[in-house]
Chains A and B, each alone.
Chain A
Amino acid sequence: MTEYTDISTVDWSRAQFALTAMFHYIFVPLTLGLSFIIAVMESLWVKTGKEEWKKATKFWMKLFGINFAIGVSTGIILEFEFGTNWSNYSWFVGDIFGAPLAVEGIMAFFMESTFIAIMFFGWEKVSKRFHLTSSWLVFAGANLSALWILVANAWMQNPIGMFFNPDTARNEMVDFWAILLSPTAINKFFHTVLSAYLLSSIFVIGISSWYLLKKRHISIAKKSIIIASIFGFIVSILTVYSGDTSSRDIAKIQPMKFAAMEGLYEGGTNIPLVLTGIITKNKEGIEECEHSIKVPNLLSLLTHLDSDAYIPGIKNVIEGYTSHEGKRFLPIEKRINKGQEAILALKEYKFHKKNKQTEEMNKSLKIFRENYEHFGYGYLNTPQEAIPNISLTFYSFHIMVSLGFLFILIFITSCFLIYKDKIEKYRWILWINIICIPLAYIAIQCGWIVTELGRQPWVIQDLMPTKVAITDIDTSAVQTTFWLFAILFTTLFIAEIRILMTQIKKGPQS
């Protein structure tokens, strides 16, 4: 039997964390990608001496500054929440989560902040080249910040390079490089930053298209579209590649999430790729994809480079399966039993330690270590608890991928029409470019929904379910701060949109 903290506290804590993280991530991608576009434009100004490049640099820098000012330190709220709402988790992850975040704070954030000051206030005070170097270092600093945070997140999806200390109840880092260079961390970093560059390119193209529609700042708008569409096209191809490698990694380490992304209930060999479909509940009451348009064998081919490859579905993960590589995965029911053995062994270890019974202590510890990989399952009541929200994961994944391919078309079209100098004639394309700005934000948020919702019930894959991670506090306390955040974030968001719109209307010459 298991008992838990009030489930509504879990839900409200999750809702609050999701609200904060999603709000924070409205600002992050533009900081990551626009800094690159700005640095390229400034480099062209330094190289050619053409004032238009300087004007373009200053204009995009202004929008970057507004985005940075509104977004800065919204991420710190997440750290507040760790300490208040997620104290079991915060303690359990030990220095593994703390170390990358500390490196991020000391190295990357301060580097970014220092050079942002030079970038904004140093135009007439430092040399051209020093200013340019500062702009590039802002780009590097922002991306380094992202690296450390994504490494911490990747560890939660694929916990490796650590050792659980039963005396302190903390995971201790034993292999920093395994954590930093895990395939999950590398894939996550590249896919996240590349998609952020993609969003920034869409942002620049969309706003430049608005100027073309209004027949204002035509030269700067066209120059901006050239840079953004070339950059956007290159990064969108790389985003597809990193998304593909990321999916393969998910198939290996989070098969349930992978099945949810595809709405795949019953796996097998020669699995088709679902292009689109509708999620409905089946006879067992579990959601799966039906009425779909599929490409035969393609999912097996993309995942294992073999069209005959076996891919487990939700049912197979629940019942146990043998992977394409021949590795046997236990049924969830068995993992629950093993997890409970691990928890019981930990309890007994604590008891024997208190009574100084060394031999029994070692016995308990051995059982605990043997079953630690199933530890988190011990907190689940039924195997069905291991299934995430299928419909949200499936639809978010398919929206993200579809929009990603739409953006590739946007980059190709913009590149071609700018090259032919005909872009103003196709007003409907200019309108689509503008509409793509909110779509890019939707795509990027969908990506995080897949990542974070698709891995439920885990806060740390297989080791700690979300319901065990939270602090045993009153739901009302979390509800109060949730609404406070909702008001604060909405106000900030409205402020950003209004200030951005005013500056966009004024344009580069103001």
Chain B
Amino acid sequence: MSSKRPIKQLLSDHKTAIFVILILIAGGSVGTYFVIDYMNAQDPDIITLATTTSTYDSGLLDYLIPKFTQETGIKIRVLSVGTGQAIAYGKSGDVDVILVHSRSREDAFVNYSGGQVPYGVHRACVMYNGFLIIGHLSNPANLLPGDNITTVMTKLKLGMTIGHNTTFYSRGDGSGTHSKELSLWDQIGWDPITAGTNYYKDVGAGMGDTLLITYNDANDRGYTLVDRGTWLSFNDSYTTLSILAESVVGEDYLLNPYGVIPVNPVFHPHVKYVAVCRFVGFLTSPYGQDLINAYKKYNAVLFRSCFGTCNETHSCPTTDTEISLWAPFHSEYVGLSI
């Protein structure tokens, strides 16, 4: 005349024991994961790379890295953040290597200054891509193909300040793209912010968002600076926008060079310096450079390799030391072809 079936009764009697066992099993599995993550953190063949969102979104790294891992067995975890954040991570040692495109900040990263140990060592030029000036088809500022950078920027300035028929959207977020844009205004010696024009909009957003805002400009007269990779992702959707200026032969103002910098193992002893060097070796080897040139998105080549030749492509000063430094690391990748 029991009120419970035998099994339920059995369970109820040993409630405490069963509960404890379940907790142990659950705790054990959770703990295992924590331990695994900890072990991974110590594993010398797992490295962390910080790069910018536009770099990551181009898809290049998802193409390159598996090939690298296949060759060396080294796994790479990629963090895609803003330029400032990537550099900050490098400084704090939260990543092992950074890949960014902001030369001035890269230089600051590797320089000794006033007794300060450098955050990074042995920067290598890897590749470059191009920036584009995108605008509405109506093109009120009247940019023409073949215009050099001075002409382009001056026309935009006039359109904003005098013609009042042009709106320029700036990312305004301290990214590599943003710094490039500011350096372009520098070329014509004009600062749109201090000039205080209403036609210069500081958006404070990522590349995709800025492009969207430009597309939605109320009077169809927006312009902005975009990297080619991002543009190719969106140009199908933004049918009223088109490329109105790109890099002209002999001019490298709209070129965007990339540098890879290992984090300084003297400053942060725990970084996996050896594995990072093998990665940089990969990127700068003929194999890696060929891969970069072969990568296509939307049937367009986005990046061009420039290791060892960057003084020709875009007046980069550091060449010879780099070549001799990284040459030994290329031996691993000899004989590989795409």
**Bind each other:** no
